Structure 1
């Protein structure tokens, strides 16, 4: 991490030096567009809309180019939303705003290079905040495990006044990817009645805990088989710290012993921010009705309807409250447990697709700006 910090600092210094060498000419060209001005105003037009053109608080960016492309794409959307106001300002000769100035500035290749370097420096100055995932607050602490056996996975655990919570000032400084094995190695697991988190000395030690404790608390042979495959997958990974954790028995209502629902497994992918739950649902356990021989067809139908209503409520609650979609493995799927685990691996290995490029975003912006008529 120290090497990465040094690289980021050197990159920021290099960009600052290039901007310093260009700023007099950039200001001269900016004044040709906007009239007498200052370097401060030039920088303000570029930098003050980082959370307007892009949601830099919540969005995760893969690279400086990704940040710049999405910034341009957001500016294009702002132009489209403001086109009537822009047209009116043009008719009456009113002072230009940022949403008009930036597209004009980008038509000058020298100023365009200056803007892109300025945004690239901003990316490196806020490197951790730009590249890391931004989870919703409901996912800052997760509780999992059956019955009285519960563990917590917190983003930045702090024990205060007899309760576990997150240290919000520390959360933004954490370097690991959320909900991965590396997250577990950094924070450990929270144990409800302990003032210290359960820490693991190595990835191998954690995987041994997963195998001897987490994978054994289930009575389902299907769940045990999937847990075994996850352990083999993690052990064979070149970078196990970056493997999203296959969370067993994720609780809906937190650490309380009497909890409403649990998901058999869950993968929270910090690279895509996609949350996927997996339910092992053989008919023998999920659709079984007691006393079937003594019930009429009407009674059986009512019983099945109640079972299905509960299953639907469970899925709806996890989706509505946590953004977790649920995939169900029923009897036909469970006949091929490797295929089931393949679906889980797909959720673990998915990475974002960068569909926005600087060139494409720039063209779309200029088309939108050029289409505004007086």
Structure 2
């Protein structure tokens, strides 16, 4: 039984076919240059063996988790450059300086990444996070990686997913694709960052009925204003909807951070006792009845957290009454998850530039 859904299988198949077509278009020139460098007529099998045969030499693809195909390609190039630095001859030393051959190699590696997607990413990519919906009641919005409207539903344009020039679920993502308005079947876009910040504070904030949440909206806007690279910051998602577009749904998370830099998925719940664990008319009830009601409420809260973790990989941080006495401190906790980045990030463009000097 496949670990992927049928839709995921079709999406990956479409990506594979697209990249294979790109490779076939470049193949005659690439194979000619490869044969010339080797001094004999070479087969496609030999070409691909030379490119892909040392994947585990150039990069520890067994133990390394790659966040995306560019991460895989950048680390492969870094390892390749280090490896051939000590070699008197490598057929790829000169060939990788050729733009067409280099593009062929990078496309070949990207296809390899998707053909080994589970192994490369170490976690099963959750397609439910390719398309998320947030907001309360009937007033909600969508954030889709590569949005397109087909057959009266919003979905992803699979051919564009791998071309996205932004980190998923970031401010840059929102600026590029806009937010989806499902009621009007349109995309609400922002010309500049200030437009998004005004929308966040004037529209999304006003929908909230919680004073605690309203303060978090303000803290987040100020956080973005102080950021050196606001477009790379994770978009702080209010009221992430468990059941998507369904009006009658079980759960929402007060705020959610999907940090694509580290793949940390964290939800935040503001849970004052008065709204989450209070028992009405407690003076008129027996202790066992009070305990029973509290047990039901506790079970509901725990089921909510378990479901978000099980279906989305989202863990939940809960702010209690004591925490809520200082909202600034609560945001400091959230800020940690917003700002965390990998200790080292290999840049693909930098590695390509280094090829000129090998």
TM over 0.5: yes
Deviations 1:211-255 (A, max 9, x none): 011011111111111111001111222221111111000000001
**Which 10-residue stretch deviates more, 267-276 or 39-48?**
39-48
In the alignment, which residue of structure 1 is the partner of 2:339? 349
Q: CA RMSD in A?
A: 3.9
| Structure 2 SS opposite 1:266 | strand
Separation in 2, partners of 1:128, 1:188: 30
In the alignment, which residue of structure 2 is the partner of 1:98? none
Residue pairs, 1:116-131, within 5 angstroms: 121=102, 125-126=106-107
In the alignment, which residue of structure 1 is the partner of 2:18? none
| Structure 2 SS opposite 1:268 | strand
Q: Rg bigger for which structure?
A: 1
- Aligned 8 A contact 1:22 1:114 in 2: no
Question: How many aligned positions are there?
Answer: 295
Selected match of 1:109 from 64, 68, 87 = 87
**How high is the TM-score relative to the length of structure 2?**
0.71
- Indicate yes or no: 2:44 matched with 1:66: no
- Aligned 8 A contact 2:177 2:189 in 1: yes
**How high is the TM-score relative to the length of structure 1?**
0.68
- Indicate yes or no: 2:181 matched with 1:191: yes
| Structure 2 SS opposite 1:238 | coil
| Structure 1 SS opposite 2:333 | helix
Deviations 1:198-220 (A, max 9, x none): 11121101110110110111111
In the alignment, which residue of structure 1 is the partner of 2:269? 279
| Structure 2 SS opposite 1:347 | helix
Residue pairs, 1:252-331, within 5 angstroms: 252-331=242-321
Distance 1:291 1:174, change over 3 A: same
Separation in 1, partners of 2:169, 2:105: 24
Structure 1: where are the runs of 5+ without partners?
A: 1-15, 28-36, 72-104, 357-374
- Aligned 8 A contact 1:156 1:171 in 2: yes
CA shift for structure 1 position 260: 0.8
Deviations 1:11-35 (A, max 9, x none): xxxxx9xx9799549x9xxxxxxxx
- Aligned 8 A contact 2:323 2:330 in 1: yes
- Indicate yes or no: 2:202 matched with 1:212: yes
CA shift for structure 1 position 195: 2.8
- Aligned 8 A contact 1:152 1:191 in 2: yes
Separation in 2, partners of 1:116, 1:281: 61
Separation in 1, partners of 2:213, 2:161: 32
In the alignment, which residue of structure 2 is the partner of 1:245? 235
Distance 1:116 1:289, change over 3 A: farther
- Aligned 8 A contact 1:66 1:354 in 2: no
- Indicate yes or no: 2:181 matched with 1:203: no
- Aligned 8 A contact 2:175 2:193 in 1: yes
CA shift for structure 1 position 283: 1.2
In the alignment, which residue of structure 2 is the partner of 1:85? none
Separation in 1, partners of 2:108, 2:196: 29
The higher relative CO (CA closer than 8 Å, separation ≥ 6) is in 1
In the alignment, which residue of structure 2 is the partner of 1:165? 155
| Structure 1 SS opposite 2:143 | strand
| Structure 2 SS opposite 1:215 | helix
| Structure 1 SS opposite 2:180 | coil
- Aligned 8 A contact 1:54 1:70 in 2: no
Separation in 1, partners of 2:102, 2:282: 69
Deviations 1:329-367 (A, max 9, x none): 1122222222211111111111123499xxxxxxxxxxx
